[in-house]
Chain A
Amino acid sequence: MSNAPAANPIAQTTSSPHREGIEAARRYRLPFGRQSWRGYQGAWQGAGTGSSIDFQDHRAYAPGDDPRYIHWAAYARTGQLTMKLYRAEVSPMVDVVVDVSESMTFDAAKAARTEALVAFAVASADAAGAPVRVFAARGRETRPVPVESARAGDWRGRLALGGRALPSAPSHLPWRAGALKVLVCDLLFPGDPSLLLSAMSAGGGSAVVFAPALATEAEPPLRGNVELVDCESGEKRHQRIDDDLAARYGAAYERHFELWDESARRCGATLVRVPCEDALVNVLGGEALDRGAVEVTR
């Protein structure tokens, strides 16, 4: 007997999660336009001076400066060589880390939503001309994922991770300074959220956390005597679940994500829960768009 709820009718219209992510990337993109970036020459406003047409500042001439940018009109008025500085245009770096612990795949809808988000992030980075790296993480273990396989949508099949891991936060993640850091993780593990989020925010750039969320996870799985089996550690627990405990569980679940939201605000990260029951394009147009986790593609 499966414990998966019936698939959402809208989600069923999409041929595959990977396809769904690519489709979503046509309408939304990662929040590249939210700040200045550092990186290679590109089409996005950089944090430093460059050769774009957007004026940024004046400064005194220094030997070695490109004479093409001397502000001759100012020199005529003041007799001082003054340089016109323009904003740089760069291609932002994108680091995508996807949590591949068992909790991300124990439900078919959640696994599909995870793959769709990875496809969305990679497609969005590709559309922006941003170099992208993809990593799969489970606990302390992190493996790079070939971008080609991520673009092809078969990255999960090529993963080779070890046995079961305890339900803990992904750590030792290879974030690059100044990059747009995208974490796809359900955040269902105990511990201090700030450890993960502060590591994402360090080194500048932007941090976005997509948390696939199932509505069934927001309340206890059953009522009555239940043997709960942790999908990651296999640990078993006999528990009688009544209405009172169910209510307290629901409150604890909300409190858990409130803590993550609060920690994300303090760390300057954007965290958004991505429901698994609706089509990704619809979901991203909701809370994700409101919180700035995605932008509308021009």
Chain B
Amino acid sequence: MLVLEFGYWILEFGAGGDPMIPTLSNLAGLWALLGIPVVVAIHFLQQRSRTVRTSTLFLMEALAPESREGRQWERLRFSRAFWLQIAAVMLATWVLAQPRWTRNESAQVVVAVLDDSVSMRVFRDGTARAVEKAFSQNEGRAAHTEWVVMTSNPRQPALYRGTDKRAALAAVSEWTPSSGTHEAESALRLGRALAGASGATWFFTDRRGRAPADQPTAGAGRRINNAGFAGARVGRDEWRALVRNYSSEPLSREWWLESGGQKSAPRRIDIEPGGLVELSAKFPEGAESCELVLAGDEFTLDDRLPMVRPVPKRLSASMEMNGEGARVFFRKLAESVEGVEFVPRDSGALRLADLQDGSVPPKGAAIFVARAPTGADARRAVQTAPAVAERHALTAGLNWQGLVGTGAAGLRRAEGAEVLLWQGGEALAWVADRQLFLNFDWETSNASRLPSMVLLARRFIGETQAYQDVGYTANFDSGARIRAGGGLDGALILETRKGARELTMAEAGVLRAPEEPGFFTIKRGDKILVRGASQFADARQGDFRECESFVSGAPDARAEREVWMLNSRGDPLANAWLLLMGALLMWSWWPRAGALRETRVNGGRVA
């Protein structure tokens, strides 16, 4: 039988794969190994020393003087029956453990989806170990395994995809989580699609709440006491920052300010469990940037708060309106916007002017108000039809029910203009080519007292300011949208502490502050568009009270077994081993001649 089995292994080995080492599909069968100590114990009991008084001990001593040494071992008699029974136990264990060999044609895809939340930075080593454990559990279930390591951030490409498990684990070790709180479901759907029915998808996170139901998930987190900056408000002359204690214990931390290579004297703050402490101070004299630092803990992302002295984008405006009411309203409104400054007529980037009915507006950004009518037109009746807003970013959330006026004037609406307001089938306001047209008699309406009109004009001025191709300085939340303005000519370059790199088309299309807190600059060529500070702002990531190590949603044993049965084959000689085991037992129980004689000799002579 052994020869047959060996030949079988040789054949399998020659066919390729690694069928030499079987996998025990029924580990409970190993309990049969307890039969070995049982057999040993039985043979010990059978061979227990019997005490006999004798008058001829001197003869025995002369015959076997060596038996005094090692006599304890002599109590265990390695008889034929002993070895046969041990062999039978081994065979029974082998059969009960149900060894199976992987089929050469079997294949699987094992996907590890790593939670890209920045809180996972603390648990990166633990995650690597969890991934290795999960991979080890799935390794060997098929002859060919493709390992996929990807993050839960769908914008990131897979960290590794291939058949080299060590390379996959190395990719996990080199991974740096960089996302804020986000949904992982889309990445998990992708992972499950890649794995298919015969593969496995594991999600690795640090808190149980992020684990979707029925998704095999391994938690690699643990509860840590973290305190960090939870937000900041930075003005031209002073700053205010909030420090939060995310733990359930009172914490004490030192903080200081770093600016221009200088470091202020450390100060200590005590924060109650879950409490907030506000820090505020003047911006360092003459400094354009500084960094607030909190004495470090395990989660370092929220321990540094970079700040820049904000410099808004400059927008020149020229007032060219004739109506008193409109002129006062728009000047006051524009002056309230930081960075807006008035310049002489015809020289501003934003013209605030009135427009004659039917005339062609000049080019450039502008807010045009219909010029006040004269003559018979000045006595037009008040329109009672309600003003209705179109769905547009400028009118979103605004209520126009209070607008009272004499109805639409006669401004010519260009083709392609986006109407913002309607009244009785006439357009009251529209935008076209970065120009806002207010097509009603401003002076006879109540628009200057209407909050919706204030907001509409304020939004338009803000958009115009953002569009300006000039640089500015501001503080951003990490990952927050940045409006650089200007056109799309030329590549954008992002400079951070790690160096400069050219932004991709996708990144340039929707500019975002770097995920890594710190100072940064966005340039187009040599022109600085944005100087800024990216501040860690996702307070949920700094709260580690819910973090824990766990395993949930692991595939049930039945499903695992079904996959394994598909990918493997059993021992074809199992029945032969059972027969051999029976034969060995029968042989061991068959009394030998010596045993019979021994029984006869010992009869009635035991002391």
A217 to B52, CA, bound (A): 12
Chain B residue nearest in CB terms to A6: B604
Q: Contacts of A252 on B, CB cut-off 8 Å?
A: 59, 62-63
Bound CA span A158–B68, Å = 40
Does B379 lie at the interface of the complex (its beta carbon under 8 Å from any beta carbon of A)? Answer: no
The answer on a CB contact under 8 Å between B602 and A223 is: yes
Binds B, one of A53-61, A89-97, A198-206, A243-251: A243-251
A-B pair count, CB < 8 Å, reads 116
Contact B63 A226 (CB under 8 A): no
Q: Is the CB of A235 within 8 A of B59?
A: no
Is A81 part of the contact surface with B, judged by Cβ < 8 Å?
Answer: no
A216 CB to closest chain B CB (Å) equals 8
Report the Cα distance A232→B60, complex, angstroms.
15
- Provided the pairs A226-B49, A227-B51, A229-B51 are in contact, do residues A239 and B67 lie with their beta carbons within 8 angstroms? yes
Q: Interface with B: A15-23, A27-35, A143-151, A184-192, which one?
A: A184-192
In the bound complex, do residue B59 and residue A222 qualify as a contact, i.e. CB atoms below 8 Å apart?
Answer: no
Is B597 in contact with chain A by the CB < 8 A criterion?
yes
Residues of B within 8 A of A224 (CB): 47, 50, 77, 598, 602
CB-CB under 8 A from B50, the residues of chain A are: 222, 224-227
Contact yes or no, A103 B55, CB < 8 A: yes
Residue of B48, B601, B606 ringed by the most chain A CB atoms within 10 A: B601
Considering the chains assembled together, what is the distance between the CA atoms of A193 and B62 in angstroms? 17
Do B602 and A225 touch (CB < 8 A)? no
| A1 B56 Cβ-Cβ under 8 A | no
A253 to B55, alpha carbons, bound, how many Å?
A: 12
A3 to B607, CA, bound (A): 6
> Is B55's CB under 8 angstroms from A3's CB?
no
Q: Which residue of A lies closest to B63 (CB)?
A: A248
Are A229 and B47 touching (Cβ within 8 A)?
A: no
Shortest distance from the beta carbon of B567 to any chain A beta carbon, whole Å? 52
B197 CB–A CB distance under 8 Å: no
Bound complex: CA of A3 vs CA of B53, how far in Å?
8
Q: Tell whether, in the assembled complex, residue A235 and residue B57 are in contact, meaning their CB atoms are under 8 Å apart.
A: yes
The chain B residue with its CB closest to the CB of A232 is: B55
A 30-59 binary contact with B (CB < 8 Å = 1; else 0): 000000000000000000000000000000
Smallest beta-carbon distance B441→chain A, Å: 124
Question: Does B497 lie at the interface of the complex (its beta carbon under 8 Å from any beta carbon of A)?
Answer: no
Of chain B, the residue at the smallest CB distance from A216 is B605
Query: Would you call A266 an interface residue if the criterion is a C-beta within 8 Å of the partner chain's C-beta atoms?
Result: no
Question: B53–A229 contact, CB under 8 A?
Answer: yes
Q: Does B75 touch A at the CB level, under 8 Å?
A: yes
| Chain A residue at smallest Cβ distance from B74 | A240
Nearest CB of chain A from residue B75's CB, rounded to whole Å? 5
Pairwise interchain contact A238-B49, C-beta atoms closer than 8 A: yes
Q: Is the CB of A222 within 8 A of B605?
A: yes
A6 to chain B, nearest CB (A): 9
* List of B residues within 8 angstroms of A26 by Cβ: none
> Is there an interface contact between A222 and B55, defined as CB atoms closer than 8 Å?
no
The answer on a CB contact under 8 Å between B52 and A222 is yes
**Docked-complex contact B52 and A221, CB < 8 angstroms:** yes
Minimal Cβ-Cβ distance residue in A for B52: A221
B264 contacts the other chain (CB 8 A): no
Q: Is A228 an interface residue (CB 8 A)?
A: yes
What is the bound-complex CA distance between A89 and B293, given in angstroms?
136
Residues of A within 8 A of B137 (CB): none
Which single residue of chain A is at the shortest CB-CB distance from B598?
Answer: A223
Tell whether, in the assembled complex, residue B54 and residue A221 are in contact, meaning their CB atoms are under 8 Å apart: yes
| Contact of B61 (CB < 8 Å), options: A106, A237, A256 | A237
Q: Which of chain A's residues have a CB closer than 8 A to the CB of B63?
A: 245, 248-249, 252
B58 on the A face (CB < 8 A): yes
**Residues A231 and B54 in contact, CB atoms below 8 Å apart:** yes
Q: A167 an interface residue at 8 Å Cβ cutoff?
A: yes
A217 to chain B: which residues have CB within 8 Å? 55-56
Q: Is the interface of A mostly helix, strand, loop or mixed?
A: mixed
User: Provided the pairs A222-B602, A240-B67 are in contact, do residues A231 and B60 lie with their beta carbons within 8 angstroms?
Assistant: no
Query: Is residue B594 within 8 Å, beta carbon to beta carbon, of the partner chain?
Result: yes
Q: Quick check: is B64 within 8 A (CB to CB) of the other chain?
A: yes
Considering the chains assembled together, what is the distance between the CA atoms of A224 and B600 in angstroms?
12
Q: Which of B51, B53, B64, B601 contacts A245 (CB 8 A)?
A: B64
Which residue on B lies nearest to A168, using beta carbons?
B58
A220 located at the interface, meaning its Cβ lies under 8 Å from any Cβ of chain B in the complex: yes
A191 closest partner in B (C-beta): B58
Contacts of B51 in A (CB 8 A): 226-227, 229
A238 adjacent to B59 (CB under 8 Å): no
Q: How far is the CA of A131 from the CA of B519 in the complex (A)?
A: 133
In contact, A249 and B54 (Cβ under 8 angstroms): no
- Beyond A223-B598, A252-B62, is A237–B57 a contact (Cβ under 8 Å)? yes
A230 / chain B contacts, CB cutoff of 8 Å: 53-55, 57-58
With the chains together, A251 CA to B606 CA distance in Å? 23
B67 CB to closest chain A CB (Å) equals 5
Q: Are B62 and A1 in contact (CB under 8 A)?
A: no
Q: Which residues of A contact B558 (CB under 8 A)?
A: none
Query: Contact flags (1/0) for A70-97 with B, using CB distance below 8 Å?
Result: 0000000000000000000000000000
Using A1-B606, A252-B59 as known contacts, say yes or no to A228 and B594 having CB atoms under 8 A apart.
Answer: no
CB distance from B81 to the nearest CB of A (A): 14
Nearest CB on A from B117, distance (A): 69
Decide: A3 and B52 in contact? CB cutoff 8 A: yes
Distance between A277 CB and nearest chain B CB, rounded to angstroms: 15
- Say yes or no: B607 contacts A1, CB within 8 Å: yes
Q: Which residue of B lies closest to A190 (CB)?
A: B58
The answer to whether A3 and B605 have CB atoms under 8 Å apart is yes
B267 on the A face (CB < 8 A): no
State the Cβ distance, A75 to closest chain B Cβ, in Å.
67
Q: Which residue from A167, A189, A222, A240 sits with its C-beta under 8 Å from B601?
A: A222
Q: With A224-B598, A248-B63, A249-B60 as given contacts, are A229 and B55 in contact (CB-CB < 8 Å)?
A: no
Instruction: Tell whether A238 pairs with B602 under 8 Å between CB atoms, given A188-B55, A217-B56, A252-B62.
Output: no
| Beta-carbon contact of A229 and B56 below 8 Å | no
CB distance from A120 to the nearest CB of B (A): 22
Shortest Cβ gap from B336 to chain A (Å): 107
Q: Across the interface, name the chain B residue whose C-beta is closest to A253.
A: B59
Instruction: Specify the chain A residue showing the minimal Cβ separation from B57.
Output: A230
Known contacts A220-B60, A237-B60; A225 and B74 CB within 8 A of each other: yes
Which residue among B48, B54, B56 has the maximum number of chain A CB atoms within 10 Å of its CB?
Answer: B56
Which one of B54, B62, B601 lies within 8 Å of A229 (CB-CB)?
A: B54
B597 contact set on A, CB distance < 8 A: 223, 243
A107 CA to B605 CA, complexed, in Å: 12
The reply to whether B64 and A239 form a contact with Cβ atoms under 8 Å apart is yes
- Which parts of B561-607 form the interface with A (CB within 8 Å)? 594, 597-598, 601-602, 605-607
Indicate the member of A102, A103, A224 with the most B CB atoms within 10 Å. Answer: A224
Residues in B whose Cβ lies below 8 Å from that of A246: 601
A226 proximity list for chain B (CB < 8 A): 49-52
Q: A3-B605, A224-B47 are in contact. Are A188 and B53 (CB under 8 A)?
A: no
Q: List 17 A-B contacts (CB under 8 A).
A: A186-B55, A190-B58, A220-B60, A221-B54, A222-B52, A223-B597, A223-B601, A224-B598, A226-B52, A229-B54, A237-B60, A238-B49, A239-B64, A239-B71, A240-B77, A249-B60, A249-B63
A positions within 8 Å CB-CB of B: 1, 3, 102-103, 106-107, 167, 186, 188-190, 216-217, 219-232, 235, 237-240, 242-243, 245-246, 248-249, 252-253, 256
Given contacts A167-B58, A231-B54, 13 further A-B contacts (CB under 8 A): A1-B607, A3-B607, A106-B55, A221-B605, A223-B601, A228-B52, A230-B53, A230-B55, A237-B68, A238-B74, A245-B63, A252-B62, A256-B59
**Nearest 5 pairs of A and B residues by beta carbon:** A103-B55, A223-B598, A230-B57, A238-B71, A221-B52
